[in-house]
C-alpha cells in the first residue's frame, strides 16, 4: 500500500493569552534512517500519563471547538493557578501520546528495520497522537502473528507498570502487594498477573460494584475504602498476606497513610509491648499517580520503619536494564489478549479528540470512559 | 570504693486509672556476668528519643509530685487521645534513658570486663535513669584518659546520629545536606562535622537568634523558615551546594514538602521545558523526629523522583555494621570535648527528675533547657 505524502499530528499548545489549544499540524510523512521505521498509527490510548501534557492545564468547562478536518481547533481557558507552571510551554506546540500500535509503512536500510516492513508493531514514544510516526526499531515491540493494532495499543504503559510492581515487590523482598484504584485497567491486569504468579494482592477500590467486578475476576482480597470496617479488614488482609508494599494511584489525601497504619498494626500483632519507634518491619508506599491532586497527608502513626516514594515506569525500566525489559515485553506480547487485555469504551479519530464534549470526558482522571484514538480513521 | 547494696531505678508507669507516674524502684545492685560490668551512672541526658517512653503520654499541666527521697512519686493524667496507644503499657513500670556515662564499680571475670574496672565509660542502653546498671562490655564505649562522665554523657545518640547523616549522604551519592531544627545540640554537632569534613550544609532554623548562633559557629548557609524569602533563598542554597538530601527533625507540617519543592526548582534551573514528571534528580527527605506532631503534608509539586523515609539511629547502626560503628565511636571519643561537645542547662538528681516543675520543662520537645540527670547526686 502506498502511503500519502503528509500526515496530521496532534499538538497541545499553551498560548500567551491564557488558553490551551489542541490543534492538528500537517507535516510530510518522515523518511526513516537506517535503523528507523515509519509507523502508521492505528490505535493509541489516552492514559492518565498522557493527560498531564495533553489537557491537564485546561479548564475544560470553558472548552470550545471550531473548524473541521485538519483545521479543527479546540480551545479552553487555563485552570486558575497553573500559569507559572505552564509558562515554559507558552508558544511551543507539544506532542503527546506515549504508546500505540500500527503498521510499518516505511523502513530504513538495516536488517532489523526491513524485517518490520508491513508488520503490525507496538510502539513506545511521546508523540503518537499522529498519523505517521518515525521511530527507532528499538522502540518497537514485535507482536505475535495475528495480533491487531487495537489489541496491541496498550502494550507498554499499563502492562509494564503492572509487571514493574511485581518485579519491585520481588526485588525489595516483599511477599504481597496492596494496590489502590484496583478496578482500573491496570488494576485488573495486576490482578491477573498476581493470580497467574501466585502472589497475594490486596485490592482497594471505592465502590461496591468495583468490589464485585474484581471478585468476579477471581480476586481474593477486595476492600472498599468507603466501608466502615475498611481499616479493620485491611489490617486483617495484611496480616494474612504480609503485604508490606503498597502501590497507590490516588496520591492525594490520607489513603496511603491509612494503609501504612494498617501495615503497622498487622506488623505489631504479636508484639505485647511495642517500643516508641514501632515495629521493625519495613513498610513501603509507592505513589504512582495523582487521581487525587490534593496534598498527601501522612499521619506518621506507624512507627519509624517506612518509606514513601514516587514510582514511575521509565526509571524502573532504566533500573532493571534492557535484558529484563525484553523478558517482560515478551510476556506482554504472548499474553496480550489474556493477562494484558485492555478494554476501551470509545474508538475516536484525531479530529474527534478535539471535540469539546469528548475532551471533557477524557480530561477526567478517573473517568469511567477509556478512549482509544485511531488516527487512521 | 565500696558500692552500696541497693540502688534506685526510675520507672515510667501508666496506671489503669488513666495516669502516668514516674517512680523510683529500689533494687539490689546487680552482679555482673563474665562479660558484663556494673556502671554507677553519673551523667545521663534527657533526649527527645527518651521523652517518648518517659513522659510523652502525660498531660504535664496536671502533674503533681508527692513524697520525698526514694518515695517520691510524680503523677499526671494521660493526654486525651493516647489511651489506646498506651494500653499495652498499663501496669508495667518501664525503664528509660538511652545513653549515659559513669564509673565501672563491678566487673565480670573476662579480660575485657576486668580492663574496665574503675574506668569511666559511656554506655548505650535503654534503662540508664538509675544509679547502677549492669551492661555488656560491648555496650561500653572506651573513653580517652581524663574524659569525665559529664563530658561523655551524650556520646551516642546525637554524635552517631549526626555522623549517620553524613554517612547516609555519602552512601547514597549525595554531595551536601539540608538540615532542619539546625540550632539544636545535634544541629550544632552536624555543623562542626561538616565544617571539619568540607561538606556543604544548608541549616534551617526558625528564629533570627538561631541564625546568629550558627553563623557565629562558622555556618555558611543558615536560613530562617519564617522569612519571606525563605523558599527563594533555600532554592539558591541548594543550587549552590547540590544538597538533594534533607534530614528533618520537625516531621509534621509542610516544611519537608517545601524543601523538596526547592530541591526540584534547583534541579530544573537549566531545564528549558520540564516534562510532566519533573527532573530526574533524585530528592530524598529523611524524617528523624517529630518536633511537630501534626500530620506531614506533602504537596507533590516536585516531580516524580523523590523519597520520604523515616531515619532512625538503631537501624542505621545495624546497616553499617560493627566495624564502621566502632570507627565512628572512636572519632566521637577523640573529639568529645570539641566536635561532639554537648551543653546542658541543668544538672539534676533522680528525685529532681520527678518534680512537677522540672518534668513540665523537659517534657517540651523543643525546650530551650537541656537537662542532665546525675543519679549519683
- Residues in A 48-77 with any Cβ partner in B closer than 8 A: 49, 52-53, 56
CATH number at A6-154+345-373: 3.90.180.10
Q: Which residue of A has its CA nearest to B250?
A: A300
pLDDT in the model for residue A366: 62
Contact A306 B305 (CB under 8 A): no
B23/B8 Cα distance (integer angstroms): 10
Contact A306 B304 (CB under 8 A): no
Q: Which residue of B has its CA nearest to A279?
A: B315
Longest dimension (CA), chain B: 76
Residue holding cell 546568629?
A: B212
B interface test, pick of A55, A277, A279 with most B CB neighbours within 10 Å: A277
Q: Which residue of A has its CA nearest to B90?
A: A273
Contacts of B315 in chain A (CB under 8 A): 280, 305
Interchain CB contact of B277 with A (< 8 Å): yes
Query: Is residue B170's pLDDT more than 90?
Result: yes
CA distance B204 to chain A (A): 22
CA distance A122 to chain B (A): 23
Interchain CB contact of B307 with A (< 8 Å): yes
DSSP E strands in A213-353: the ranges are 221-224, 245-248, 251-253, 283-287, 292-298, 306-310, 346-348
Cβ–Cβ < 8 Å for B182, B224: no
ipTM for the predicted complex: 0.90
pLDDT in the model for residue B1: 47
At residue B361, what are phi and psi to the nearest 5 degrees? -70, -55
CA distance A356 to chain B (A): 23
Please tell me which residue, A245 or B142, carries the higher pLDDT value.
A245
- Residues in B 195-254 with any Cβ partner in A closer than 8 A: 251-252, 254
pLDDT in the model for residue B368: 65
Contacts of A280 in chain B (CB under 8 A): 315
pLDDT in the model for residue B276: 82
DSSP conformation class of A30: P
pLDDT in the model for residue A3: 63
Inter-chain Cβ pairs, chain A and chain B, closer than 8 A: 90
Nearest to B297 among A272, A297, A312 (CB): A297
Cell of A280: 521493625
Contact B300 A308 (CB under 8 A): no
Interchain CB contact of A81 with B (< 8 Å): no
Strand pairing category for A221-224 and A201-205: parallel
Interchain CB contact of A114 with B (< 8 Å): no
Q: Which residue of B has its CA nearest to A297?
A: B297
First to last CA, chain B: 16
Contacts of A314 in chain B (CB under 8 A): 277
Q: Which residue of A has its CA nearest to B51?
A: A276
Nearest to A297 among B251, B295, B312 (CB): B295
Identify the bridge partners of residue A106 per DSSP, sorted by sequence position: A38
B1/B187 Cα distance (integer angstroms): 39
pLDDT (tens, 9 = 90+) of chain A, 377 residues, equals 456 899 999 999 999 999 999 999 999 999 999 999 999 999 999 988 899 899 999 999 999 999 999 999 999 999 998 988 899 999 999 999 999 999 999 999 999 999 999 999 999 999 999 999 999 999 999 899 999 999 999 999 999 999 999 999 999 999 999 999 999 989 999 999 999 999 999 999 999 999 999 999 999 999 999 999 999 999 999 999 999 999 999 999 999 999 999 999 999 999 988 888 899 999 999 999 988 989 999 999 999 999 999 999 999 999 999 999 999 999 999 999 999 999 898 999 999 999 999 999 999 866 667 899 999 98
Contact B275 A312 (CB under 8 A): no
Nearest to B315 among A254, A305, A311 (CB): A305
The residue among A40, A43, A42, A35 whose CA lies nearest residue A107 is A35
DSSP E strands in A46-165: the ranges are 64-66, 73-77, 99-107, 120-124, 132-136, 140-142
Contacts of B127 in chain A (CB under 8 A): none
Name the CA radius of gyration of chain A, rounded. Answer: 22
DSSP conformation class of A131: S
Interchain CB contact of B309 with A (< 8 Å): yes
Query: Is residue B365's pLDDT more than 90?
Result: no
For the segment B224-228, the average pLDDT, to the nearest whole number, is 97
Nearest to B310 among A297, A299, A305 (CB): A305
Containing A59, the helix (H) or strand (E) segment is none
> For chain A, which residues make up each domain, given as ranges?
6-154+345-373, 157-315
Nearest to B295 among A298, A303, A309 (CB): A298
pLDDT in the model for residue B4: 84
Cell of B75: 503523677
Longest dimension (CA), chain A: 76
Contact B296 A295 (CB under 8 A): no
Contact B305 A290 (CB under 8 A): no
State in words which class domain A157-315 has.
alpha beta
pLDDT digits (tens, 9 = 90+) for A143-195: 999 999 999 999 999 999 999 999 999 999 999 999 999 999 899 999 999 99
pLDDT digits (tens, 9 = 90+) for A276-315: 889 999 999 999 998 898 999 999 999 999 999 999 999 9
For the segment B326-350, the average pLDDT, to the nearest whole number, is 94
pLDDT in the model for residue B23: 98
pLDDT in the model for residue A1: 47
Q: Which residue of B has its CA nearest to A296?
A: B298
Cβ–Cβ < 8 Å for A35, A53: no
Contact A306 B310 (CB under 8 A): yes
Contact B52 A310 (CB under 8 A): no
B294/A194 Cα distance (integer angstroms): 37
pLDDT digits (tens, 9 = 90+) for B189-200: 999 999 999 999
Nearest to A276 among B52, B307, B311 (CB): B52
The residue among B155, B140, B136 whose CA lies nearest residue B103 is B140
A206/A182 Cα distance (integer angstroms): 9
B273/A85 Cα distance (integer angstroms): 10
Contact A309 B308 (CB under 8 A): yes
CA distance A309 to chain B (A): 4
CA distance B192 to chain A (A): 27
Alpha-carbon distances, residue A298 vs A249, A261, B279, B291, B309 (angstroms) = 16, 10, 24, 15, 12
A106/A117 Cα distance (integer angstroms): 6
Compute the mean pLDDT over every residue in chain B, rounded to the nearest whole number: 95
For the segment B73-82, the average pLDDT, to the nearest whole number, is 95
CA distance A321 to chain B (A): 17
For the segment B164-182, the average pLDDT, to the nearest whole number, is 98
Contact A305 B308 (CB under 8 A): no
Q: Which residue of A has its CA nearest to B54?
A: A276
Cell of B307: 523519597
Amino acid at each position: 500500500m502506498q502511503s500519502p505524502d503528509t500526515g496530521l499530528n496532534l499538538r497541545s499548545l499553551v498560548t500567551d493569552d491564557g488558553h490551551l489549544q489542541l490543534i492538528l499540524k500537517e507535516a510530510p510523512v518522515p523518511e526513516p534512517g537506517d535503523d528507523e521505521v515509519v509507523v502508521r498509527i492505528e490505535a493509541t490510548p489516552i492514559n492518565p500519563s498522557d493527560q498531564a501534557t495533553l489537557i491537564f492545564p485546561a479548564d475544560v468547562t470553558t472548552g470550545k471547538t471550531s473548524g473541521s478536518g485538519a483545521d479543527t481547533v479546540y480551545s479552553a481557558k487555563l485552570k486558575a493557578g497553573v500559569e507559572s507552571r505552564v509558562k515554559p510551554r507558552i508558544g511551543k506546540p507539544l506532542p503527546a501520546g506515549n504508546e500505540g500500535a500500527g503498521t510499518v509503512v516505511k523502513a530504513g536500510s538495516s536488517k532489523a528495520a526491513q524485517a518490520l516492513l508491513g508488520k503490525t508493531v507496538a510502539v513506545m514514544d511521546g508523540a503518537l497522537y499522529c498519523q505517521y510516526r518515525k521511530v527507532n526499531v528499538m522502540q518497537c515491540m514485535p507482536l505475535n502473528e495475528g495480533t491487531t493494532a487495537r489489541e496491541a495499543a496498550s502494550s507498554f504503559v499499563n502492562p509494564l507498570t503492572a509487571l514493574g510492581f511485581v518485579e519491585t515487590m520481588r526485588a525489595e523482598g516483599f511477599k504481597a502487594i496492596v494496590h489502590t484504584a484496583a478496578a482500573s485497567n491496570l488494576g485488573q491486569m495486576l490482578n491477573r498477573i498476581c493470580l497467574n504468579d501466585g502472589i497475594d494482592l490486596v485490592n482497594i477500590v471505592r465502590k461496591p460494584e468495583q468490589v464485585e467486578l474484581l471478585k468476579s475476576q477471581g480476586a481474593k482480597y477486595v476492600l472498599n475504602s468507603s466501608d466502615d470496617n475498611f481499616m479493620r479488614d485491611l489490617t486483617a488482609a495484611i496480616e494474612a498476606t504480609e503485604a508490606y508494599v503498597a502501590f497507590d494511584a490516588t496520591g492525594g489525601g490520607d489513603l496511603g497513610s491509612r494503609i501504612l497504619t494498617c501495615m503497622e498494626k498487622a506488623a505489631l500483632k504479636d508484639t505485647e509491648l511495642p517500643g516508641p519507634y514501632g515495629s521493625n518491619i519495613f513498610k513501603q508506599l509507592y505513589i504512582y499517580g495523582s487521581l487525587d491532586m490534593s496534598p498527601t497527608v501522612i499521619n506518621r502513626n506507624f512507627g519509624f520503619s517506612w518509606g514513601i516514594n514516587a514510582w514511575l515506569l521509565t526509571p524502573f525500566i532504566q533500573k532493571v536494564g534492557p535484558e529484563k525489559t525484553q523478558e517482560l515485553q515478551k510476556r506482554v506480547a504472548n499474553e496480550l489478549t489474556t493477562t494484558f487485555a485492555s478494554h476501551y469504551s470509545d474508538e475516536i479519530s484525531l479530529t474527534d479528540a478535539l471535540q469539546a464534549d469528548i475532551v471533557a470526558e477524557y480530561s477526567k482522571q478517573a473517568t469511567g470512559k477509556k478512549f482509544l484514538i485511531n488516527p487512521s480513521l
